[in-house]
Structure 1
Amino acid sequence: MDFANFLIQLLNSLQYGLLLFMLAAGLTLIFGIMGVVNLAHGSFYMLGAYLAWFLASQFDSLVLAIVVGTLLAVALGWALEWLLFRHFYHRDHLDQVLLTFGLIYIFEEVRSILWGDDVHSVPVPELVNWSIPLTENLSYPVYRLVISAVCVALALGLYLLISKTRLGMKIRAGAFNREMTEALGINIRLIHGVVFALGVALAAIAGMIASPISSVYPGMGSSVLIMCFVVVVIGGIGSVRGALVAALMVGLVDTFGKVLLPQIAGMAVYMLMAGVLLYKPEGLFKQ
């Protein structure tokens, strides 16, 4: 593998890893802070992709579609937490699994009714629809670099929100000791609503920005959900920092595994997870 090919695969792995982080960060926040096993998280990624396709066709602008789609995703997350999830915080995890598994079928049926079962493509915005030449025959799409930049910006924003703001302090306090947090007068239900809406929005944004390079198709959330759980387990449940490190590791192993060792590429990520859990049973970073 020459340097140009290595650079392309490295950039691809970073872009894939950062997208996985966007998804896994919401999942680990919801599970680590609220204690909810959310199997429907991949459906939010799918809904984001379909919103990007539908709204971009209406507004003739992917950027505007992402802005509007994000607001809709926040509203959906808030409504789901208020109507359903807050009634399951003290229930058994099996009840949560059954609830979120049922939501997968509901979202798939709603998607089929609203937008059909066809595969759709989302055009890349003209401003970034060009490539950077690396050699005479190889180039790299600028839009993939834009995806990475957006993910890095959102990761930094999430870090600042959790670590440097009063809201983040309340979120961390609620995750550490819910009863004590409530005794101090903090509205933990409001915090849970914010966390769930944030998690849904992150998953939807990942689907929206990825739609021009991955297409939009039924069931697209199922495959990314498995990888999300792998990232959360490797990084440590409830740890956003762990989700970032684990997502980048999974991106590198998955991408270079398909290039260098295609015979075992399908299980390379799971071998990574097994190796990490062998030495760190609770993941790389504890909450």
Structure 2
Amino acid sequence: MTVDSGFWVLQTLNALQLSMLLFLLSLGLTVIFGLMHFVNLAHGALYTFGAYIAASVANKFGFWVAIFAAPVGVAIIGVVLYFLFVQRMRKSGPTAQVLVTFGLIFVLLDLTRIIWGDLALAMATPAVLSGQIGIFGVTYPVYRLFIIAIGLLSFVMLALVLSGTQVGAKIRASVDNDAMAACLGINVERLFFLVFCVGCAFAGLAGAIAAPLLSVMPGMGLQILIPTLIVIVIGGLGSLRGRSRGRCFMVLYRHSVRY
């Protein structure tokens, strides 16, 4: 067993980086489930679309435009999916939702192959994020620290919205009792639509920031879907802060050692 402190610092940073990536992907999925009680297994395919959109846009307009374009593009895809499938399937029960969204995985997978082909795409990081920095005696890529910062910023912003704004109060009320919230005059259906689009946008953002680290390929959403579901189940369905953060971190830490 190694006692090198640099090894543990490196693995801790890797765990934080991977946990922030999984957090961005699971964030939309768990909030969608918590508010809408809708099981969306196609969330990983939206993550793939975000990575492809980011890689395509970055090659023409640069990294920062791609980071903005990917969430917007995936949110638009989410609007289409909502009106075609989600709105109709919301009251159908979890079995029908799982079957439909599982089928959507393969539909969206084939769409990525039709649009971009089977060859992997690469996305370069900007010069300002391409170097390394010394932290506690180890050198660590700046871009991975950027991912950690994006995840923490997203968490803080969403926590502030949910706990300190009127929209957040309506969302929390609808999560607790959507029928009572509707009786109080809250447009629950509009909140469903808003939350679903925001969840899709977070999936697109996760794909965009993962594109420079991983090869952008059609099956990348399937590879990360299982760890995302594990995080959601352990952290708490419909919970932003999570009910079991210690156990969740240990799962991420063990996964990051292999990663």
What range describes the TM-score normalised by the shorter chain of this pair?
A: over 0.9
Deviation at 1:199, TM superposition (A): 0.8
Name the CA shift for 1:88/1:9 in 2 (closer, same or farther; >3 Å): same
Question: In the TM superposition, what whole-angstrom CA distance separates every residue of 1:58-79 from its partner, at most 9, and x where no partner exists?
Answer: 21x1111111222222222223
CA distance in 2, matches of 1:37, 1:215: 27
Deviation at 1:86, TM superposition (A): 1.2
Deviation at 1:215, TM superposition (A): 1.8
Amino acid at match of 2:15: S
Contact 1:15-1:144 at 8 Å conserved across structures: yes
The answer for the alignment partner of 1:77 in structure 2 is: 78
SS of the aligned residue for 2:25 comes to helix
Q: Percent identity over the alignment?
A: 39
CA distance in 2, matches of 1:249, 1:196: 29
SS of the aligned residue for 1:240 comes to coil
- Structure 1: give runs of 5+ residues left out of the alignment: 260-287
The answer for the alignment partner of 1:273 in structure 2 is: none
CA distance in 2, matches of 1:133, 1:173: 45
The answer for the alignment partner of 1:210 in structure 2 is: 210
SS of the aligned residue for 2:79 comes to helix
RMSD: 1.9
Name the CA shift for 1:173/1:58 in 2 (closer, same or farther; >3 Å): same
Deviation at 1:98, TM superposition (A): 1.4
Runs of at least 4 residues off by over 2 Å: 133-136, 243-250
The question of 1:99 aligning with 2:100 is answered yes
The answer for the alignment partner of 1:190 in structure 2 is: 190
Deviation at 1:132, TM superposition (A): 1.6
Amino acid at match of 2:36: M
The answer for the alignment partner of 2:41 in structure 1 is: 39
- Structure 2: give runs of 5+ residues left out of the alignment: none
Contact 1:4-1:134 at 8 Å conserved across structures: no
Amino acid at match of 2:237: I
Q: 1:1-287 residue pairs with structure 2 within 5 A?
A: 1=2, 2-59=4-61, 61-133=62-134, 139-242=139-242, 245=245, 247-256=248-257, 258=258
CA distance in 2, matches of 1:95, 1:22: 26
Question: In the TM superposition, what whole-angstrom CA distance separates every residue of 1:5-35 from its partner, at most 9, and x where no partner exists?
Answer: 2211110011101111111111111111101
SS of the aligned residue for 1:241 comes to coil
TM-score (norm: length of structure 2): 0.93
SS of the aligned residue for 1:58 comes to helix
Paired residues, number: 256
Amino acid at match of 1:127: V
CA distance in 2, matches of 1:4, 1:148: 19
Deviation at 1:225, TM superposition (A): 0.9
TM-score (norm: length of structure 1): 0.84
CA distance in 2, matches of 1:244, 1:114: 40
Name the CA shift for 1:83/1:129 in 2 (closer, same or farther; >3 Å): same
CA distance in 2, matches of 1:99, 1:135: 48
Contact 1:129-1:141 at 8 Å conserved across structures: yes
Greater length-normalized contact order (CA 8 Å, ≥ 6 residues apart)? 2
SS of the aligned residue for 1:84 comes to helix
